[in-house]
Amino acid sequence: MPFRRQIPVLILIAAFAGAQNFDKLRIEQVADHLRYAEGPAWSTEGFLLFSDTVENKIYKFTPGAPVAEFARVAGGPIGNAFDAQGRLYTCEFRERRLTRTAKNGKTEVLAARYESRRLNAPNDVAVRHDGQVYFTDPAFGNQQDNRELDFYGVFHENPRGELEAVAKLQTRPNGIALSPNGRILYVADSDARLIRAWDLDHAGAASNPRIFTNKISGVPGGLRTDDKGNVYVAARQIYVYSPQGERLAEIPMPDRPTNLAFGGADLQTLFVTTRTGLFRVRLK
């Protein structure tokens, strides 16, 4: 069982030209002894959920309280997200599906097949304010042995339940995030070591595919954006990019980061999952 302990680590941020005020930051370890942590998602009700993918569990952290088990998900929970109604979206990579859980606990399958073939292994999910859902569908390790699709997908599902492929890639997409206004979709490409971007219209349709930034050090995983539109990438460390793709800073972590999410009462705390733990970093 993970537990909360305060391990402050003072770090000096490596800043680059044009950077915001990234000064010395303090990292606090919130939980450890996890098998493989992923998918942090902050609820407007004041708590964070995150997955331990190996243990098939989702944990809950409420600031001021110990980490507690929230749910057991046999399908292999990994990426998580909340929508504007407080419903929880979870990528279940073992069951090869995306689910949505209502606040009353009722779970429904949103996506499990594309053109009658099973998905590969949904990995990460983002939900726009109007209910447009985007998720990545790579396949890592032995997940590739049972693939039915001949591509690695980036998918969009609209509120009517219609599923379409934003991209059919031969390299594996991983983390996914939206710009603050919901008009740009970002996707990490773990194989190509870059971040892809698309423009989104009012109906959620994607266009203008492009490379946002490349030559990322390490394997890019989870993504998040802040209210200024900067993009935070979990890779060898946490790397911060401007909306124009200029690298602003890096935040060294004590363990290899897997994903990240903003949270706290003022949304100025960066929660970071790593292979074995959960950390939080208070930003200015």
- What is the domain-level CATH number for residue 41? 2.120.10.30
- Tell me what pLDDT residue 17 has: 37
- Please name which of 258, 202, 266 lies closest in space to residue 232, comparing C-alpha atoms: 258
pLDDT of amino acid 2: 54
Note the pLDDT of residue 237. 96
| Per-residue pLDDT at 262 | 98
Q: Does 185 map to a domain?
A: yes
Alpha-carbon torsion 66, 70, 57, 131, what sign?
A: negative
- On whether residue 106 sits in a domain, the answer given is yes
Q: Is residue 4 part of a domain?
A: no
Mean pLDDT per segment of 10 residues, for the chain of length 284 residues?
48 45 79 96 98 97 96 96 98 97 96 97 98 96 89 98 98 98 98 98 98 96 97 97 96 95 96 97 88
Distance CA 30, CA 32 (A): 7
Residues 276, 232: Cα–Cα separation, whole Å: 20
Supply the pLDDT for residue 3. Answer: 52
Q: Which residues are registered as beta bridge partners of 29? A: 279
Distance CA 191, CA 170 (A): 9
Q: What is the pLDDT of residue 22?
A: 57
Q: pLDDT value at position 7?
A: 47
pLDDT given at position 23: 58
Strand partners, 145: none
In a domain, 103, yes or no: yes
Q: How many domains does the chain have?
A: 1
On whether residue 3 sits in a domain, the answer given is: no
Q: Give the whole-angstrom CA distance, residue 35 versus residue 37.
A: 7
Q: Does residue 78 lie within any of the structural domains?
A: yes
Q: Which domain holds residue 235?
A: 9-282
The string of DSSP codes covering the chain is --------EEEE-EE-TT--S--EEEEEEEE---SSEEEEEEETTTEEEEEETTTTEEEEE-TTS--EEEEE-TT-EEEEEE-TT--EEEEETTTTEEEEE-TTS-EEEEESEETTEE-S----EEE-TTS-EEEEE---GGGGGG--SSSEEEEEE-TT--EEEEEEESS-EEEEEE-TTS-EEEEEETTTTEEEEEEE-TT--EEEEEEEE---SS----EEE-TT--EEEESSSEEEE-TTS-EEEEE--SS-EEEEEEESTTS-EEEEEESS-EEEEE--
pTM here?
A: 0.93
Give yes or no for a contact between 187 and 212, defined as CB atoms under 8 angstroms apart: no
CA–CA separation, 222 and 84 (whole Å)? 21
